[in-house]
Amino acid sequence: MRIGELSARTGTPARLLRYYEEQGLLTPARRDNGYRDYGEHLVDRVQQIRGLLEAGLPTRLIKNVLPCLDNPCSITISDAGPEVVDLLRQERDRMDARIACLSRNRDAIDAYLSKVRTRVNPDIAVATPADRAAAVATFVAAFAADPAIRWLLPDDATFPAEAAAMAGSMFDARVGHGTVWIADGGAAVAMWDPPRPPGGDGAEDSPRTGRFARYHEVVHGRMPKTPHWYLGVLASHPEHRGRRLGRAAMRAGLERAAADGLPAYLETSNPRNVEVYRSAGFEVAEHLMVDDLAVWIMVSAPEVAQ
């Protein structure tokens, strides 16, 4: 074959093939007319050369190794000088290290693939009373370290029961309005308040005594009196983090607010969540303190709220 065909079959530019010839790595036959004839066996030879180059061997060492690639090596260790032998051993050890590293990386990827689930569109549904237990369990798991919830419920011993009661109260107050959405059967839950009637109050989600009363007085006292949607709870179970289920569950309420032409409000005490909500279209409307607890009130449509 001609050099152009060898180049096409091996994906190697012709100029590199000529360089391999100059280095003594390729030896094409000569036809009677003097043209080079690249035999079929040179397709494998070029691939071998490229593999060795990619492994880091210089061409001067590849020339020593090539005789061992076709047949049982015809040279012995005494045929090469000590310097060449030493360099080849160094290259072999370096290859062994790279192979070991690649093997570890491959095993890590295999382990990940064995556990990862292909992301599919989550199943979003309006919650019913039958979803109460799943929503409560997600709330308790998701807010175990939340600054605001732990400020309200600081006792580790009683937190699980108190948080479950709090979540159940919030769920019960909203589920009848059809404004609680769950993702994948309760792996994430979004509890919304629809717009309040003039002079009305939001859903009763906790007894307003002690810290609860203080929090409500400061935070909810800063919420607008004009109609708006309010995201009271957004929780994703820690076992399902990274699947964006919370955002999917929240979206249904945002779509309702947009359809009504109204802003949507929420508050968070976790500074990391501020950027998360910003990425979903919210902006900080006010940053305030409830005693020693920082709270950010956020709105999805600042231009509407103004």
Pick from 78, 46, 43, 42: nearest CA to 62: 46
What does the alpha-carbon distance between residue 89 and residue 92 come to, in Å, rounded to a whole number?
Answer: 5
d(CA 285, CA 270): 15
Residue 242 and residue 305: Cα distance in Å, rounded?
Answer: 31
3-55 pLDDT, tens digit per residue, is 999 999 999 999 999 999 998 889 899 888 888 899 998 999 998 888 888 87
Element containing residue 283 per DSSP (H, E): strand 283-290
Secondary structure class of 298 (helix, strand, coil): strand
DSSP state of 131: G
pTM across the whole model: 0.60
Per residue in 158-183, pLDDT tens?
Answer: 999 999 999 999 999 999 999 999 99
- The residue to which tokens 């949607």 are assigned: 229
Q: How would you class 251 by CB atoms within 10 Å of its CB: exposed for 0-12, middle for 13-18, buried for 19 or more?
A: middle
Burial level of 222, CB count in 10 A (0-12/13-18/19+)? Answer: middle
Are 276 and 242 a contacting pair, CB within 8 Å? Answer: no
Q: Could you give the 3-state DSSP secondary structure of residue 141?
A: helix
Q: Where would I find the beta strands (DSSP E) of 167-263?
A: 180-183, 188-193, 229-236
Task: From first to last of the 306 residues of the chain, give the pLDDT tens digit.
Answer: 999 999 999 999 999 999 999 988 898 998 888 888 999 989 999 988 888 888 777 887 787 777 776 655 554 544 556 776 777 788 788 888 888 999 999 988 888 877 766 556 889 999 999 999 999 999 999 999 999 999 999 999 999 999 999 999 999 999 999 999 999 999 999 999 999 865 555 555 545 688 999 999 999 999 999 999 999 999 999 998 888 899 999 999 999 999 999 999 999 999 999 999 999 999 999 999 999 999 999 999 744 433
* Domains, the chain, ordered by start: 3-115 (1.10.1660.10), 124-305 (3.40.630.30)
Sign of the Cα torsion 269, 300, 127, 218 reads positive
Closest CA to 62 of 20, 104, 16, 33: 20
Rounded CA separation 197/228 (Å)? 10
Listed residue (33, 31, 28) closest to 5, CA to CA: 28
What is the spatial distance between Cα 224 and Cα 260, in angstroms, rounded to a whole number?
A: 16
Q: What is the pLDDT of residue 48?
A: 86
Q: Is the dihedral of CA 150, 155, 156, 159 positive or negative?
A: negative
